[in-house]
Structure formats: C-alpha cells, structure tokens
C-alpha cells in the first residue's frame, strides 16, 4: 500500500514538473484571447444609437488622425492637474512638440470677434509661452482666432467647441487662410465641457499654467494591422480616440461594447446593464477629487 501511494506521489510530481517546464501555467486559453470565439467573453453589442453617432472620417494627406494633442492645466486652487484631450486642426504646425509651464489665458472677447482686448494682449506678452483659449463661433474662422493670438505673441491656441455634438470635431481651413496669413503656432480643439472647466479654472485662479503636448500616432488599424490609406473611411471612438477602418470597427462593435484596442466600454442597449454602469459611475464620481464628469456624458446627456 505504501509503495502504491509513493508511486501516486511520484506521478503527481512528474506531471507538475512537466507542466512548469512547458510553461503551461503561463499560457492564456485561446478562447480568452478572442472574445467572439465560442466559450469566450460574454460581450454585449454596442448600442445602435452610439454606433450611429461615432464620427466617420475620410483619410486625407493632412488628416489630424495621426496626431494627438493633450493639455494639462494646474494652479494654486486646482487640487490635482486637469487633463484635456484635444484634436489638432488640419492646418498649421503638426510636428511633435511640448509647450511646458505655459501661461493659460482666456481671450477677450472669447470668440475673437473684432480685436483682442488690451488686457488680453498684455497678459499674453507678460506670460510664459502663452496658450490662449478661444471659443468656436461668432463667424470668426479658426485661423483668424489663431492669428490674433500669434500676433500678440502666443505660442499655441486652444479652441473650445461651442456645442457638445459631434465630437471629436476636426477643424479645417477651407479658405486656405493658414498659408496666406503665415500661421506658425499649433491650434487644437477641446470639447465643450472641458472648455467650460478651463474657463472656470482661469476665473478662480489667475495663475493657471499648462503643458501642451503634440504626439504622432500609429497609422495602422490594430484590428487588421493594415495601414490607413488616403480616401479610406475610418471610425474614431470617443473618449479614447482610437481609430480603425470602419468595417473593422463595426465587425467588432456589433458584438462587443469595448474599444478593440484599449477595451474602454461603450454604451449598450441592455437597460439593466446600463443602469448598473450608471450607478457605478456615480459611485466613482463621488470619490474623484477633481469632479470629472462621466466619460460617456456625450452619450448619456
């Protein structure tokens, strides 16, 4: 009996050593790598309304899809730095760069209609690598707003959208003003809600500073691994900003409510699931120091 028990122990030990030597314990089951495979993750399709609202973009040579901008602002009355994702305009400088520790100045008038106030001009001149904030609209072109800031000595311009939808929004220069005017500073847009936060921060804190960063993004679709080509239609997801061929994205999103790259969640048409998600968002929002709104506020209103 003892010999039989000893043989069983040896067999178990041999199996364990073979598994470890083969790194079997490290291998992830294939079905988990492919959520659409039988037995894989029980995903939910993305909401039809959300899919319809995701921007479709035709790729062109000056497309902003391959460049990403971000703005971080800080100040004495801001407990933790605020981070805003920005969309570069399809005009002006687009090379990788970082404008650090810049003075953030809200333009007056805020839409740039007419001329900048003397107070704004003095603030730009006295500031450090000033980043000037404008709001979209009032019949003033994006390039005209940027040129007002450039002529006053600014290093960059941030424009806040004047409506929540559609987003992301890509600024264009249909009149070719950037070339004829000699625009030399980068121009980016942030969404409406972020623009309101920025203005409020500047209102209560006269010494707001910011870091503006422009980075180059991959030109490949991570679903099919093929590069984006001129004239192709691509789809850019809100919040994370990842870009895919439209057909590749829809093949995934009609089965899964996550970004194919980073797995950020999108809304679904499952009311029970959405109620639970909203409850969790409210819980997390209540524990967040900077009071950021839900990342899907554009969908949920």
In this prediction, residue 155 has a pLDDT band, given cuts at 50, 70 and 90, of very high
Residue 235, Cβ neighbours under 10 Å: how many? 20
Residue 260 tokens, joined: 């194919």
How many Cα atoms are found within 13 Å in the side-chain-facing hemisphere of 164? 9
| 3-state secondary structure string across the chain | CHHHHHHHHHHHHHHHHHHHHCCHHHCCCHHHHCCCCCCCCCCCCECHHHHHHCCEEECCCCCHHHEEEEEEEECCCCCCCEEEEEEECCCCCCCCEEEEEEEEEECCCCCCCCCCCHHHHHHHHHCCCCEEEEECECCECHHHHHHHHHHHCCCEEEEECCCCCCCCCCCCCCCCHHHHHCCCCCEEEECHHHHHHHHHHHHHCCCCEEEEEEEECCCECCCCCCECCCCCEEEECCCCCCEEEHHHHHHHHCCCCECCCCCCECCECCHHHHHHHHHHHHHHHHCCCCCCCCCCHHHHC
In this prediction, residue 300 has a pLDDT band, given cuts at 50, 70 and 90, of very low
Domains recognised in the chain with CATH numbers = 48-54+230-290 (3.30.40.10), 64-216 (3.50.30.30)
- Residue of higher predicted confidence among 87 and 134: 134
In this prediction, residue 62 has a pLDDT band, given cuts at 50, 70 and 90, of low
pLDDT digits 0-9 by tens, 283-297: 765 554 444 444 444
Q: 39 pLDDT exceeds 90?
A: no
- Counting Cβ atoms within 10 Å, is residue 284 exposed (0-12), middle (13-18) or buried (19+)? exposed
- pTM higher than 0.85 for the full model? no
Q: How far apart are CA 63 and CA 56, in angstroms?
A: 13
Query: Are 192 and 163 within 8 A, CB to CB?
Result: yes
pLDDT digits 0-9 by tens, 198-244: 999 999 887 899 999 998 777 788 888 888 888 889 988 877 878 89
pLDDT digits 0-9 by tens, 13-34: 444 444 433 433 333 344 334 4
Q: How far apart are CA 98 and CA 69, in angstroms?
A: 9
């Amino acid at each position: 009996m003892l010999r039989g028990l000893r043989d069983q122990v040896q067999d178990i030990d041999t199996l364990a050593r073979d598994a470890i030597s083969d790194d079997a314990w490290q291998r992830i089951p294939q079905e988990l790598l492919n959520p659409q495979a039988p037995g894989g993750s029980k995903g939910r399709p993305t909401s039809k309304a959300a899919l319809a609202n995701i921007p479709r973009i035709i790729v062109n040579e000056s497309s902003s899809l391959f460049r990403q901008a971000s703005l971080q602002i800080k100040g004495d009355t801001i407990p933790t730095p605020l981070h805003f994702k920005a969309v570069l305009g399809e005009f002006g400088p687009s090379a990788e760069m970082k404008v650090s520790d810049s003075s953030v100045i809200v333009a007056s008038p805020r839409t740039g209609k007419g001329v900048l106030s003397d107070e704004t001009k003095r603030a730009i001149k006295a500031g450090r690598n000033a980043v000037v904030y404008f709001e979209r609209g009032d019949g003033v072109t994006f390039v005209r707003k940027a040129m007002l800031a450039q002529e006053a000595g600014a290093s960059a311009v941030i424009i806040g959208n004047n409506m929540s939808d559609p987003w992301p929004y890509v600024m264009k220069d249909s009149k070719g003003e950037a070339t004829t005017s000699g625009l030399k500073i980068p121009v980016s847009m942030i969404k409406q809600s972020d623009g309101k936060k920025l203005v409020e921060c500047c209102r209560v804190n006269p010494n707001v500073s910011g870091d503006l960063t422009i980075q180059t993004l991959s030109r490949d679709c991570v679903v099919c691994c093929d590069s984006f080509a001129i004239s192709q239609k691509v789809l850019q997801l809100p919040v994370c900003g990842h870009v895919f061929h439209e057909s590749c994205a829809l093949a995934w999103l009609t089965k899964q409510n996550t970004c194919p790259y980073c797995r950020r969640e999108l809304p679904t048409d499952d009311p029970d699931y959405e109620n639970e998600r909203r409850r969790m968002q409210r819980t997390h929002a209540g524990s967040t120091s900077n009071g950021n709104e839900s990342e899907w506020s554009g969908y949920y209103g």
